[in-house]
Amino acid sequence: MTSVLYDVPGPKAKVRARVISWITGLIVLALLAYTGLTLWQKGMWDPTRWDIFNDPLVWAVLLRGLVVVLQSALVATVLALLLGMVFALLRMSSHRAIRIPTTIVLEFFRGMPVLLMMLFILLAFPGVSAFWAVVSALAVYNGAIIGEALRSGVVALPKGQREAGLAIGLRPLQARLLIEFPQAFRTMLPIIVAQIVVLLKDTALGYIVGQVALIREGELLAEFVGRQQYFFSIFLVMLAMYLVINLTISTIARQLAKRRGFTVSKVVADESMSAAT
C-alpha cells in the first residue's frame, strides 16, 4: 500500500531515505551502546557475575527447570488438543441442550485469566499438585481456544463434505471425526501452532502459583549464590532459553502458514490475537 500512497521515489528521495536510515540506525546503536556501557560501569559484565556458569551444577539446576517447563507444555498441549476436539464437538452439537451450555461455559473459560483458573484448580481440588494445576488450567483454557479454531475451520468447509459423508452411510459423529476434523485441523494448523507458543509462554504463570519450574529454579539459585551479584546474569540466561524455544516454534508456525498460502478468516485471527497476549 505504501507505494500506492506516493509516487515511486526518485534518486534524490532514495538518497535521503538512505541517509535518514543510517542516521536513525546510528542513534539506535548509540542508545544500545550507552545501555551496555552503563551496565558495564555497574560491573554487570564483570566475570565475577558470570563465573557461576562455569559450574555444571548451575546448568543442571537451570536445565532441570527447563525440563519442567517443557514437560508442562507438552502434557498441556496434548490435553488441550483433545479437549479442543471435545469442546468443538459439543459446541456444534445438534442438540440445543448441549450446545448452549457449552457455549456459555467456553465463554466463561476464555473470559477469565488462566492464572485465576490455576489458583482455582489448586485450591478447589485438594491434593492436586502445582504441576497438575498449571497443566490442567492451561489445557482447559487453550482447549477452549483451539476448540473455537477447529469449529471455525469446520464452518469454513464446503457443506458437501459433510453431506457426502452422511450419504455414504457414516453416522454424524463419524462424519465429523473422519471427514471434517482432519480438514479443519489442517487449515487451522498455523493458528494451533501459534497457540502452542502462547501455551508455552503461559507455563511461566506457574511461578506465581508456586510451581517449581525454570523461573523459580533460577530465583532459588540466585538466593543460594547471592542475588545481588548473580540474578542479572541468571535472568539473561533464562530469557535466552525462553526466546530460543519460542522463536523456534514461532518460526515453524510462520513456515507452515507460508507454505499453505494461508489467509486466516477474521474471526479466528482476532481469537488468536486476544489469546496471544
Partner 1 sequence: MVIFDNLPLYLEAFLQTLALLLLTTVLALPLGAVIAAMRISPIGSLRATATVYTEILRNTPLVLVFIFCFVVLPILGVILPFMFSAVLALTLYTAPFFAEAIRSGINGVPVGQAEAARSIGMTFGQTVTLVVLPQAIRSVIPPIINVMIALTKNTSIAGGFFIFELFNSGRRLVNENGDQVILALVGVAAFYLLITIPLGQLADFLERRVVIRR
By CB under 8 A, residue 239 contacts partner 1: yes
By CB under 8 A, residue 4 contacts partner 1: yes
Q: Which is nearer to partner 1, 184 or 275 (CB)?
A: 275
By CB under 8 A, residue 22 contacts partner 1: yes
Per-residue mark of binding to partner 1, 85-114 (x: CB under 8 A): ----------------------xx--xxxx
Among 33, 155, 208, 220, binds partner 1 (CB under 8 A): 208
CA 152 to chain centre: 20
Among 48, 54, 94, 228, binds partner 1 (CB under 8 A): 228
CB of 169 to partner 1, least distance (A): 39
Closest among 60, 102, 57 to 84, alpha carbons compared: 102
Q: Which is nearer to partner 1, 87 or 185 (CB)?
A: 87
**Contacting residues toward partner 1, per CB under 8 A:** 1-2, 4-6, 9, 17, 20-22, 24-25, 28, 39, 42, 44, 107-108, 111-116, 119-120, 123-124, 197, 201-205, 207-208, 215, 227-228, 231-232, 235, 238-239, 242-243, 246-247, 250, 266, 269-270, 273-277
